[in-house]
């Protein structure tokens, strides 16, 4: 019996010392939103609340009340839109400076959290956010320390409250760029299931499958290690059990809390390992088809897993077991061969492919085929495919895109 069949984390010696990064404090549970003030009071006195209009309307008052009760003054910046742009970030830091703030509170999901992280970078270091992007400055280009950032998370989710990553849209080129630095990891993360209940089923599905993808990719990544394996495994198991419940019954606070914890663990896993080929291919696909990030991951996930399994069969066997689709008696190769189907079943349990018509723009096959070369080039340039257990070349990625078109996109769109 192999180590994986015993369910052990597959410990391998690290080549050099590695650091595990995480928020300083995480508060989880019903009513946790009231903790944002007490957790921030020693970190600042005047907070810029970075959010969307909807976020402010739904939860802004409770956040302000908590901060106020703890003795902090607040200023609201609610101009964040989905996929925050360079202009959004620059307007945010203007607000931060003119209002003389000394800390930030992000209220919302991935977009406000990433916008707040980017505002913190500019408030702390100056310059333009594009200068810190991985394609220009590499990883860890932000020295810090930055103004303290607290997060009140309202989706489950990107896990951005636990990660080193910021995704910003460059409106000039209609592309997204990444900033990755330990200095941007928030100081405080608040996970309150009551704030997630208003999330509609479509977004519960998208964000939930995004989190599943984070956990699976972190677990199979060539960058995986003991301290990323533990949250990755826990996240896969927890999300497989509770995401379908949260999708079916959005008011189920237990299920909402479980998915919040699962996506937080998935964020911890990938920020301390990496994402891989699914995310590498999802960014260009999402941009072309105007798909929400999680939906782009979902349509790619089974096909990419099927391709990748021979690169790490023991890892994928464990993924299948953690999803509940095989047990300890199933031999590794058999369990690994079932990983793609098990992930398809999880996607189908939240009808994620059924949202393609409403949320995506799928072109005819000839047009899509023309796009595959550019998309594959962008996927490779992101660096994520290099962390995959099986590393594809340009031609292979083009073929995978076409397989996804024929297998998922065409059958599920008009
Ligand atoms: Fe993601």
> What pLDDT digit, counting tens, does each position of 227-261 carry?
999 999 999 999 999 999 999 999 999 999 999 99
Taking the CB of residue 57, how many other CB atoms lie within 10 A of it? 11
CATH of the domain at 310: 1.20.1090.10
Q: Could you tell me what percentage of the chain is helix, strand and coil, using 3-state DSSP and rounding each to the nearest 5?
A: 60, 10, 30
* Whole-number Cα distances in Å, 389 to 8, 60, 151, 274: 19, 43, 33, 12
Ligand 1 centre to CA of 175 (Å) is 16
**Do the bridges between strand 165-170 and strand 175-180 make them parallel or antiparallel, or are there none, so unpaired?**
antiparallel
pLDDT at residue 374 is higher than 50:
yes
Residue where a domain terminates, one of 195, 213, 246:
195
- When the pLDDT of each residue in the chain is averaged and rounded to a whole number, the result is 95
Residue where a domain terminates, one of 151, 169, 195:
195
Please tell me whether residues 176 and 224 are part of one structural domain. Answer: no
Evaluate the CA torsion angle 129, 104, 32, 197 in order and state its sign: negative
> Is 10 a domain residue?
no
> Is 11 a domain residue?
no
**Mean of pLDDT values over 347-371:** 95
Looking at residue 9, its pLDDT comes to 52
Cα–Cα dist 140/182, whole Å: 7
Looking at residue 14, its pLDDT comes to 66
The separation between CA 14 and the C-alpha centre of its own chain, rounded to angstroms, equals 25
Tens digits of residue pLDDT in 48-101: 999 999 999 999 999 999 999 999 999 999 999 988 999 999 999 999 999 999
> Is 213 a domain residue?
yes
Ligand 1 centre to CA of 113 (Å) is 14
Q: Please indicate whether residue 287 or residue 264 has the higher confidence score (pLDDT).
A: 264
Q: Please indicate whether residue 361 or residue 105 has the higher confidence score (pLDDT).
A: 105
Share of the chain above pLDDT 70, in %: 96
Ligand 1 centre to CA of 72 (Å) is 33
> Is 6 a domain residue?
no
pLDDT at residue 353 is higher than 60:
yes
Ligand 1 centre to CA of 128 (Å) is 24
pLDDT at residue 165 is higher than 50:
yes
Please tell me whether residues 181 and 293 are part of one structural domain. Answer: no
Cα–Cα dist 167/142, whole Å: 14
Ligand 1 centre to CA of 331 (Å) is 30
Q: Of 45, 56, 26, which is closest to residue 264 (Cα–Cα)?
A: 26
Please tell me whether residues 138 and 103 are part of one structural domain. Answer: yes
Tens digits of residue pLDDT in 274-303: 999 999 999 899 989 989 999 999 999 999
Residue entry with tokens 């065409």: 410
Look up the pTM and report it: 0.95
pLDDT at residue 36 is higher than 60:
yes
Ligand 1 centre to CA of 363 (Å) is 24
Ligand 1 centre to CA of 217 (Å) is 10
Ligand 1 centre to CA of 209 (Å) is 9
pLDDT at residue 147 is higher than 70:
yes
CB proximity list for 219: less than 8 A, separation 6 or greater: 228, 229, 232, 233, 236, 269, 273, 315, 318, 319
**Mean of pLDDT values over 151-174:** 93
Tokens matching residue 352:
């994620």
> Is 48 a domain residue?
yes
CATH of the domain at 189: 3.40.50.1970
The residue segments making up the domain with residue 222 are 201-409
Ligand 1 centre to CA of 180 (Å) is 14
pLDDT at residue 8 is higher than 60:
no
7 — pLDDT class (breaks 50, 70, 90): very low
Ion ligand 1: residues, CB within 5 A, are 210
pLDDT at residue 203 is higher than 60:
yes
13 — pLDDT class (breaks 50, 70, 90): low
> Is 414 a domain residue?
no
Please tell me whether residues 146 and 279 are part of one structural domain. Answer: no
Please tell me whether residues 340 and 213 are part of one structural domain. Answer: yes
Residue where a domain terminates, one of 155, 172, 195:
195
Please tell me whether residues 244 and 261 are part of one structural domain. Answer: yes
Please tell me whether residues 188 and 334 are part of one structural domain. Answer: no
Ligand 1 centre to CA of 73 (Å) is 33
Ligand 1 centre to CA of 399 (Å) is 22
> Is 16 a domain residue?
no
Task: Reply yes or no: is the peptide bond before residue 145 cis, omega within 30 of 0.
Answer: yes
Please tell me whether residues 180 and 273 are part of one structural domain. Answer: no
Please tell me whether residues 379 and 302 are part of one structural domain. Answer: yes
Residue entry with tokens 């949260």: 246
Q: What total of structural domains would you count in the chain?
A: 2
> Is 188 a domain residue?
yes
pLDDT at residue 156 is higher than 50:
yes
Ligand 1 centre to CA of 30 (Å) is 25
Determine the length of the chain: 414
User: Strand, coil or helix: what is 16?
Assistant: coil
Which helix (H) or strand (E) element contains residue 289? helix 277-289
Q: What does DSSP assign to residue 102?
A: -
Looking at residue 11, its pLDDT comes to 52
Ligand 1 centre to CA of 290 (Å) is 15
Cα–Cα dist 382/390, whole Å: 16
5 — pLDDT class (breaks 50, 70, 90): very low
Please tell me whether residues 187 and 226 are part of one structural domain. Answer: no
Ligand 1 centre to CA of 267 (Å) is 9
Please tell me whether residues 109 and 142 are part of one structural domain. Answer: yes
Tokens matching residue 299:
């349509």
CB proximity list for 261: less than 8 A, separation 6 or greater: 28, 191, 238
Please tell me whether residues 181 and 207 are part of one structural domain. Answer: no
Tell me if 177 sits within 8 A of 133, measured CB to CB: yes
């Amino acid at each position: 019996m192999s180590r994986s069949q015993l369910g052990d984390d597959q410990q391998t010696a690290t080549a050099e010392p590695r650091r595990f990064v995480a928020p300083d404090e995480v508060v989880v549970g019903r009513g946790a939103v009231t903790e944002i003030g007490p957790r921030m009071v020693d970190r600042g006195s005047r907070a810029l609340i970075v959010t969307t209009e909807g976020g402010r309307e739904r939860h802004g008052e409770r956040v302000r009340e908590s901060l106020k009760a703890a003795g902090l003054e607040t200023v609201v910046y609610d101009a964040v839109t989905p996929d925050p742009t360079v202009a959004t970030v620059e307007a945010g830091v203007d607000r931060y400076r003119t209002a003389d703030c000394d800390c930030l509170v992000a209220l919302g999901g991935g977009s406000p959290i990433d916008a707040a992280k980017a505002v913190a970078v500019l408030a702390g270091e100056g310059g333009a956010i594009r200068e810190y992007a991985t394609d220009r400055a590499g990883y860890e280009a932000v020295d810090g320390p930055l103004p303290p950032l607290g997060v009140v998370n309202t989706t489950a989710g990107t896990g951005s409250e636990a990660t080193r990553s910021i995704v910003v849209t460059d409106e000039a080129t209609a592309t997204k760029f990444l900033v990755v630095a330990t200095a941007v990891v928030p100081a405080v993360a608040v996970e309150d299931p009551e704030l997630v209940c208003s999330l509609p089923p479509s977004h519960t599905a998208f964000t939930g499958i995004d989190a599943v993808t984070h956990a699976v990719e972190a677990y199979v990544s060539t960058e995986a290690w003991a301290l990323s394996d533990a949250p990755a495994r826990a996240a896969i198991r927890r999300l497989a059990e509770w995401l379908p419940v949260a999708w079916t019954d959005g008011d189920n606070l237990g299920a909402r809390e479980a998915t919040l914890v699962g996506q937080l663990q998935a964020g911890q896993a990938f920020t301390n390992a990496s994402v891989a080929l699914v995310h590498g291919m999802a960014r260009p696909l999402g941009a072309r088809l105007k798909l929400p990030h999680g939906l782009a991951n979902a349509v790619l996930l089974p096909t990419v897993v099927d391709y990748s399994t021979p690169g790490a069969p023991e890892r994928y066997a464990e993924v299948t077991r953690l999803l509940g689709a095989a047990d300890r008696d199933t031999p590794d190769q058999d369990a690994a061969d079932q990983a793609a189907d098990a992930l398809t079943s999880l996607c189908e349990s939240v009808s994620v492919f059924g949202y393609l018509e409403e949320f995506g723009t799928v072109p005819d096959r000839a047009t899509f085929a023309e796009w595959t070369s550019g998309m594959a080039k962008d996927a490779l340039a992101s660096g994520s495919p290099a962390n995959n257990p099986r590393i594809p070349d340009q031609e292979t990625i083009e073929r995978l895109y076409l397989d996804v078109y024929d297998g998922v996109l065409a059958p599920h769109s008009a």
